[in-house]
């Protein structure tokens, strides 16, 4: 359908009107020529909404973003980039005429026609917000650069799939003074990708950002609260490009470690930076077992959040904490940051989100094939993307892939063996999981067993009972846990 449409649009003798598709392709051509990047998902939505003469408020209601975000962040950035690419002032009011001019100049160019074919690889059913019939040609996987899904997804990547209004809630929360966001989800569910998305958003509105992965902190630091808090101050200062002034502010003879750390932030770090600061702490659950620091550290974070409600200097600090499932540590309810702020849970992808990944990968699947894959791996983001990577990279049918998915020959073998090694280090948890995978009914476990298996991402909770997260885990661990 698109091929025929494009031929008529770009025929030399065509009398066709300048359409939304033409405008989108002209914008893609100009931006790629100038910056090496096509329109992002949200930019396409905003450009199409502007084409249809929708207000920012109307687009916000339709797309689930705040009007302020669409106007001051996405819109301003897009019009500025188009102004640079087209070498004229482009606004929401005049962009149609500006894009038409470059379309009329370039539409007979071989480069333009080739690039519009390339950009089609990122133009899928969902991004166009139109009803696309199943008979259309899928996106060509050979023309999409497929990164191996082994880490977080960059915020501007077409492979980043937005959750249902999660990102919008985070954006609206993080711009509030002294805000705190708690992202809770099992491993490999996209916590770090969401943090990166939040970071990218606040950078666009001139915030300073600091990202710290607590999973990589050395053990010798985690066993001494003073070392750990000095490490925190040092790392935050480095990312803010500030000189280390700990020797001038740290007074161990009179003040405790929490007081010293708080004073360093209040009197130096927050004072030296004019903009709001986002401090994102990833994998905070990795330090739960270090009783030497957790009570002081988490109590301090909670106090910072409370200070942000009343003190101007602390209103500049915005906190994001990411952790796996529940916080199984003994903390006073009034000193814990885990019962404050806005909680964000990351669920598995639903069918429309999986279908969007199908389109992006260029797989010509009907609903039956989507159902077949989800029957094995559910909507687990990592497992779904890994499956599609394999199917695009090799000449396998879905049936062949699923047949070997839980075997040592399948692409999940390293992932599954990693879990097996963890379970072998915890025989009691392994025995509990063995009962779960061999039961056709939900299994009741003690709270610690549920906590550990759920934080690993191996089970789904149903009240006080659990079931395997997906049939892939059930099939594999039925075989190996003997």
Question: pLDDT, tens digit, for every residue of 381-412?
Answer: 999 999 999 998 887 789 999 999 999 888 99
The tens digit of pLDDT for each residue in 294-319 reads 889 999 999 999 999 999 999 999 99
Mean pLDDT, rounded, for 462-471: 91
Q: What is the pLDDT of residue 12?
A: 35
Q: What is the pLDDT of residue 128?
A: 34
Mean pLDDT, rounded, for 146-160: 85
Angle, helices 225-239 vs 257-264, to 10°: value is 10
Least-confidence region, from 131-140, 357-366, 414-423: 131-140
229: Cβ contacts below 8 Å, ≥ 6 apart: 257, 258, 260, 261, 296, 297, 300
The tens digit of pLDDT for each residue in 204-261 reads 888 999 999 998 899 999 999 999 999 999 999 999 999 999 999 998 888 899 999 9
Are 475 and 468 in contact by the 8 Å Cβ rule? The answer is no
> How far apart, in Å, are the Cα atoms of 203 and each of 237, 401, 434?
17, 41, 46
Q: What is the pLDDT of residue 2?
A: 33
Q: How confident is the model at residue 118 (pLDDT cuts 50, 70, 90)?
A: very low
Q: Which percentage of the chain shows pLDDT scores above 90? A: 52
Pairing between β-strand 317-323 and β-strand 180-184 as defined by DSSP bridges: parallel
Mean pLDDT, rounded, for 260-276: 96
Whether residue 106 has pLDDT greater than 90:
no
Q: How confident is the model at residue 470 (pLDDT cuts 50, 70, 90)?
A: very high
Average pLDDT, the chain: 84
Q: How confident is the model at residue 10 (pLDDT cuts 50, 70, 90)?
A: very low
Q: What is the pLDDT of residue 107?
A: 65
Domains and CATH numbers, the chain: 2-128 (no CATH), 166-345 (3.40.50.300), 351-405 (no CATH), 414-480 (1.10.10)
Buried b or exposed e, range 221-257, using 16+ CB within 10 angstroms = bbeebbbbbbbbbeebbeebeeeeeeeebbeeeeeeb
Quick one: which of 300, 285, 293 has its CA closest to 337? 300
Question: Which pair of structure tokens corresponds to residue 168?
Answer: 């919008």
What is the 3-state secondary structure of the chain?
CHHHHHHHHHCCCCCCCCCHHHHHHHHHHHHHHHHCCCCCHHHHHHHHHHHCCCCHHHHHHHHCCCHHHHHHHHHHHHHHHHHHHHCCCCCCCCHHHHHHHHHHHHCCCHHHHHHHHHHHHHCCHHHHCCCCCCCCCCCCHHHCCCCCCCCCCCCCCCCCCCCCCHHHHHHHHHCCCCCEEEEECCCCCCHHHHHHHHHHHHHHCCCEEEEEEHHHCCHHHHCCHHHHHHHHHHHHHHHCCCCCCHHHHCCCCCCCHHHHHHHHHHHHHHHHCCCCEEEEEECHHHHCCCCCCHHHHHHHHHHHHHHCCCCHHHHCEEEEEEECCCCCCCCCCCCCHHHCCEEEECCCCCHHHHHHHHHHCCCCCCHHHHHHHHHHHCCCHHHHHHHHHHHHHCCCCHHHHHHHCCCCCCCCHHHHHHHHHHHHCCHHHHHHHHHHHCCCCCEECCHHHHHHHHHHCCEEEECCEEEECCHHHHHHHHHHCC
Whether residue 21 has pLDDT greater than 90:
no
């Amino acid at each position: 359908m698109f091929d025929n449409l494009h031929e008529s649009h770009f025929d030399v003798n065509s009398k066709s009107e300048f359409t939304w598709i033409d405008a989108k392709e002209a914008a893609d051509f100009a931006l790629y020529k100038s910056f090496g990047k096509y329109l992002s998902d949200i930019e396409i939505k905003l450009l199409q909404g502007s084409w249809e003469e929708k207000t920012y408020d109307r687009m916000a209601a339709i797309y689930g973003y705040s009007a302020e975000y669409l106007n001051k962040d996405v819109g301003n950035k897009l019009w500025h980039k188009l102004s640079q690419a087209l070498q004229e002032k482009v606004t929401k009011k005049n962009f149609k005429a500006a894009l038409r001019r470059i379309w009329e100049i370039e539409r007979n160019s071989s480069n333009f026609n080739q690039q519009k074919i390339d950009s089609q690889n990122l133009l899928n059913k969902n991004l166009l917000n139109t009803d696309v019939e199943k008979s259309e040609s899928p996106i060509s996987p050979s023309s999409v650069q497929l990164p191996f899904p082994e880490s977080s997804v960059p915020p501007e990547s077409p492979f980043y799939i937005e959750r249902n209004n999660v990102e919008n809630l985070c954006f609206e929360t993080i711009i509030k003074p002294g805000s705190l966001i708690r992202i809770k989800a099992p491993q490999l569910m996209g916590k770090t990708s969401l943090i990166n998305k939040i970071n990218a958003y606040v950078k666009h509105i001139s915030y300073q950002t600091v990202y710290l992965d607590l999973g990589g902190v050395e053990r010798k630091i985690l066993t001494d609260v003073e070392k750990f808090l000095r490490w925190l101050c040092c790392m935050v200062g480095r990312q803010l490009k500030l000189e280390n002034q700990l020797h001038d502010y740290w007074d161990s003879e009179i003040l405790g470690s929490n007081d010293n750390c708080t004073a360093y932030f209040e009197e130096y770090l927050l004072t030296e930076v004019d903009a709001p600061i986002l401090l994102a702490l990833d994998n905070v659950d990795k330090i739960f077992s270090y009783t030497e620091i957790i009570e002081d550290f988490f109590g301090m974070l909670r106090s910072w959040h409370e200070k942000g409600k009343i003190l101007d200097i602390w209103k500049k600090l915005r906190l994001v904490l990411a952790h796996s499932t529940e916080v199984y540590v003994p903390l006073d309810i009034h000193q814990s940051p885990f019962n404050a702020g806005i909680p964000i849970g990351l669920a598995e992808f639903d069918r429309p989100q999986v279908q969007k990944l199908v389109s992006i990968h260029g797989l010509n699947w009907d609903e039956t094939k989507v159902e077949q894959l989800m029957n094995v791996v559910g909507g687990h983001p990592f497992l779904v993307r890994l499956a599609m990577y394999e199917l695009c990279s090799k000449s396998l049918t879905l049936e062949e892939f699923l047949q070997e998915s839980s075997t040592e020959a399948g692409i999940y073998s390293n992932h599954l063996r990693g879990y097996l090694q963890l379970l072998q280090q915890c025989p009691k948890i392994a025995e509990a999981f063995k009962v779960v995978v061999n039961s056709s009914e939900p299994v009741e476990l003690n709270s610690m067993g549920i906590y550990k298996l759920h934080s690993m991402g191996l089970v789904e909770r149903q009240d006080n009972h659990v079931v395997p997260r997906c049939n892939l885990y059930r099939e594999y661990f039925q075989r190996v846990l003997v």
